[in-house]
Chains A and B, each alone.
Chain A
Amino acid sequence: MTAQAQLDPEQTETMTVREAIRQALREEMERDEDVYIMGEDVGLFGGVLEVTGDLFEEFGEERVRDTPIAEAGFMGAATGAAATGTRPVVELMFSDFMGVSMEQIMNQMAKMRYMFGGKTEMPVTVRTTEGGGMGAASQHSGTVHAWIAHFPGLKAVAPGTAASAKGLTKAAIRSDDPVFVFENKMIYEQKGSVPTDEDFTVPIGEASIEQEGDDVTVVATQRLVGESLDVAETLDGDVDVEVIDARSLYPLDTDTIVESVEKTGRLVVADESPLSYGIHAEVAARAQEEAFFSLDAPIQRVGTPDTHMPFSPPLEQEVLPDGDEVQHAIERIT
């Protein structure tokens, strides 16, 4: 699906990714009383990165529920609550805290439906923040979405634009499956056109072609979607770059990626996660499985080295992938 096709300018408004997510939360809570938010400091405080904002004033403490600092406990409680008929939306303050709650995610939330022979639903949404760029150092800057995408029983989405942030958040909340929404914290202020239709959702498992092109395909996620679009503009007239926002990491829209690679013959995968055993490898593997004979050049990967996120700005900038690296990757194969 192309981004242009779904956005009618008459029915959109411009807003930031942060506002888009908050609007999604508000609309879904208004639509369905079973939906509520829980997490650390999501209430009066408005969330540490201000995503829940004023929802507490609108919906009260029952529906915008502050939890103790107990990630395993509240992830488990959300799992039990979802299994018994409500639709919790958990905010995990930083994705680095996933480790603390991993037991409940991997052994309970992910497995209950299957272990019980499909006799329970698990309509839980987990929103969490990812990424470096704030000088937040190694324990508050990680990008861990590949863990969740890898683990059977969980769905993972990672929006790169305001529209997809809203649409994916709404789709996650409406899903009867556990869906993790990975929000890159550096794009909360990024603006974009967002549909105002209250039933606008982005189907989980559909990528978006944000920019059409014939020479090279860039499959990007999160912050690197915007940076890749800038690169496409820079290279315009020289190299015709197609930019795809993967949007959904699991399930992954293999068809859209493969069709694009069949057209361009070249693929760059840009995702702010460590390069080994991750998203890049998965996209590359699927592309070569389905479009091997269309490939004219080796697939390029843009990500972070297998280090942690360092604190000091020059160190952090050193390891963070950016548009320049996407451009270099394109230039290596075109």
Chain B
Amino acid sequence: MADYTLATDDGRLEALRRMLLIREFDTTAGEYFADGEIPGFVHLYIGEEAVGVGACAALDPDDYIASTHRGHGHCIAKGLDPELMMAELFGKQDGYCNGKGGSMHIADVDSGMLGANGIVGAGPPMATGAALTIDYKDLDKVALGFLGDGAVAQGQVHEAINMASTWDLPAVFLVENNQYGEATPVEKQHNVENLSDTAQAYDIPGVTVDGMDVTAVAEAVEEARKRARAGDGPTLIEAETYRYRGHYEGDEQPYRTKEEIEQWQERDAIESFKQRLIDRGELTESEFEELQSEVEETIADAVDYAQDADMPDPSEAYEDMFGEPVPEIEQFAARPRADGGTRGGDTR
């Protein structure tokens, strides 16, 4: 069973906590990015929390996920540690990837998280591959590939789903339709009414669910997981959702209106789930406030951790290319620097 499930009171609270954690993490990441403390660029998951959390609530802890460039939410939903995630965003040695990956490449294969991915549409082949391992080794797991609406147009996505369905692999493909593929609306990139309609091409179930409803997402993934474990092959799920922020931080978003954003925010996934739990008597307003403060503290601690952590030693640039190192890189690392120092040593 998942380490949290929407079938129990505790599980529902945990799901809410993770949704809050994602929002707080990404809000904070956006701030430190704007301040220049986080290098590179970041793609925030704010608004889409119900999709990642709903999906992971329906998965077992040992299941695999393959993520996207907008992957922070998937990481937190899967149970990755916000401190190590934040340290990675800050480029620190203690980050999940020792500072070599950053926001777009956070991974923790041991936790089943096969990596955020900077290439749109690259996750589904990865999920198909993980599902192939599961099938080959007869493991009790599934592999879920997240993809965005934009990725549905990618050829390799078609190849991956076709292969998984032809071989009845234990895979699930989950399209997060946040309405925009980068800066272009979904209807200008696809001819089908629902992106799940493409499932017909593979003779697999295709379902479209409300991606602002964590329960609806979890139910669909649970069903898909059962089917996958039964040896019946993959399911294509489309979760209709919305990103509140730009494609990347700093995106001026000329392609949409403030009104449109506000309309979606009225159906906010966290707000509606919270309200549902209050209505059911599983949560009080003050308990919620407490949960929110805890989450804020967790993320503040993650920032402290990231800020205090060490930058990688420059010599780390030469590590981790291969299991069996090559002389080409070792010789480069041994060359003297122009300033007279040695590479990978004391100078930065």
**Which residue numbers of A lie inside 8 Å of B, CB to CB?**
34, 36, 62, 67-68, 70, 72-86, 88, 103-104, 107-108, 112-121, 152-153, 155, 175-177, 204-205, 250-252, 254
Which residues on the A side are within 8 Å of B98 (C-beta)?
A: 117-118
Asked whether any CB of chain A lies closer than 8 Å to the CB of B64, the reply is yes
A75 to B160, CA, bound (A): 10
User: How many Å from the CB of B92 to the closest CB on chain A?
Assistant: 11
Do the beta carbons of A121 and B326 come within 8 Å of each other?
Answer: no
Do the beta carbons of B128 and A104 come within 8 Å of each other?
Answer: no
* Nearest opposing residue in chain A for B101, CB measure: A115
Do the beta carbons of B156 and A119 come within 8 Å of each other?
Answer: no
A77 to B324, CA, bound (A): 23
Do the beta carbons of B162 and A115 come within 8 Å of each other?
Answer: no
A85 to B115, CA, bound (A): 15
Beyond the given A85-B137, A112-B107, A119-B96, please list 7 additional residue pairs across the A-B interface where CB-CB is below 8 A: A73-B156, A76-B125, A80-B127, A86-B132, A113-B323, A119-B110, A153-B321
Given contacts A70-B162, A73-B160, A103-B119, contact A83 B126 (CB under 8 A): yes
* Nearest opposing residue in chain B for A72, CB measure: B156
Which residues on the B side are within 8 Å of A114 (C-beta)?
A: 100, 320-321
* Nearest opposing residue in chain B for A69, CB measure: B159
A69 to B2, CA, bound (A): 36
Given contacts A67-B163, A104-B125, A251-B328, contact A177 B130 (CB under 8 A): no
The digit string for B125-168, where 1 denotes a CB below 8 A from any CB of A, is 11111111110110000010000000000011011101100100
- How many residues belonging to B are interface residues under a CB distance threshold of 8 Å? 51
- Which of B100, B136, B322, B323 sits near A117, CB closer than 8 Å? B100
A113 to B118, CA, bound (A): 15
Do the beta carbons of B323 and A104 come within 8 Å of each other?
Answer: no
Asked whether any CB of chain A lies closer than 8 Å to the CB of B319, the reply is yes
- Which of A74, A84, A117 sits near B320, CB closer than 8 Å? A117
Do the beta carbons of A81 and B321 come within 8 Å of each other?
Answer: no
A115 to B321, CA, bound (A): 9
Which residues on the B side are within 8 Å of A81 (C-beta)?
A: 129-130, 132-133, 136
Which residues on the A side are within 8 Å of B156 (C-beta)?
A: 72-73, 76, 103-104
- Which of B101, B126, B155, B321 sits near A108, CB closer than 8 Å? B126
Do the beta carbons of A86 and B133 come within 8 Å of each other?
Answer: yes
Total of A-B residue pairs, C-beta within 8 Å: 162
Asked whether any CB of chain A lies closer than 8 Å to the CB of B175, the reply is no
Asked whether any CB of chain A lies closer than 8 Å to the CB of B99, the reply is yes
A75 to B162, CA, bound (A): 14
Which residues on the B side are within 8 Å of A176 (C-beta)?
A: 323-324
User: How many Å from the CB of B190 to the closest CB on chain A?
Assistant: 20
Which residues on the A side are within 8 Å of B117 (C-beta)?
A: 108
- Which of A79, A152, A204 sits near B126, CB closer than 8 Å? A79
Do the beta carbons of A177 and B322 come within 8 Å of each other?
Answer: yes
A184 to B286, CA, bound (A): 72
**Which residue numbers of B lie inside 8 Å of A, CB to CB?**
64, 66, 95-101, 105, 107-110, 114-115, 117-119, 122, 124-134, 136-137, 143, 155-156, 158-160, 162-163, 166, 319-324, 326-328
Do the beta carbons of A82 and B129 come within 8 Å of each other?
Answer: yes
Which residues on the A side are within 8 Å of B143 (C-beta)?
A: 80, 84
Which residues on the B side are within 8 Å of A79 (C-beta)?
A: 125-126, 129
User: How many Å from the CB of A162 to the closest CB on chain B?
Assistant: 24
Which residues on the A side are within 8 Å of B162 (C-beta)?
A: 68, 70, 73
- Which of B119, B158, B163 sits near A74, CB closer than 8 Å? B163
- Which of A72, A115, A152 sits near B155, CB closer than 8 Å? A72
* Nearest opposing residue in chain A for B331, CB measure: A254
A154 to B37, CA, bound (A): 33
Which residues on the A side are within 8 Å of B110 (C-beta)?
A: 119
A-B pairs, 10 with minimum CB distance = A80-B129, A76-B125, A73-B159, A118-B320, A117-B98, A176-B323, A70-B159, A117-B97, A80-B126, A251-B326
User: How many Å from the CB of A259 to the closest CB on chain B?
Assistant: 14
* Nearest opposing residue in chain B for A80, CB measure: B129
Which residues on the A side are within 8 Å of B109 (C-beta)?
A: 83-84, 116, 119-120
User: How many Å from the CB of B313 to the closest CB on chain A?
Assistant: 13
* Nearest opposing residue in chain A for B104, CB measure: A115
Do the beta carbons of A115 and B105 come within 8 Å of each other?
Answer: yes
A67 to B160, CA, bound (A): 11
A119 to B309, CA, bound (A): 19
Do the beta carbons of A83 and B324 come within 8 Å of each other?
Answer: no
Which residues on the A side are within 8 Å of B128 (C-beta)?
A: 73, 76-77, 80
* Nearest opposing residue in chain B for A175, CB measure: B324
Which residues on the B side are within 8 Å of A80 (C-beta)?
A: 66, 114, 125-133, 143
20 CB contacts below 8 A, A to B, read A70-B163, A73-B125, A73-B158, A73-B160, A76-B129, A80-B129, A80-B130, A80-B133, A81-B132, A83-B109, A84-B134, A107-B119, A108-B117, A108-B126, A114-B320, A114-B321, A117-B96, A117-B320, A119-B108, A120-B109
* Nearest opposing residue in chain A for B98, CB measure: A117
Which residues on the A side are within 8 Å of B108 (C-beta)?
A: 119
Given contacts A104-B156, A113-B320, A114-B320, contact A250 B126 (CB under 8 A): no
* Nearest opposing residue in chain A for B155, CB measure: A72
A113 to B326, CA, bound (A): 14
A294 to B119, CA, bound (A): 47
A104 to B130, CA, bound (A): 14
Do the beta carbons of A78 and B129 come within 8 Å of each other?
Answer: yes
Do the beta carbons of A68 and B166 come within 8 Å of each other?
Answer: yes
Do the beta carbons of B323 and A177 come within 8 Å of each other?
Answer: yes
Which residues on the A side are within 8 Å of B100 (C-beta)?
A: 114-117
Given contacts A76-B126, A104-B125, A113-B320, contact A68 B136 (CB under 8 A): no
A73 to B171, CA, bound (A): 14
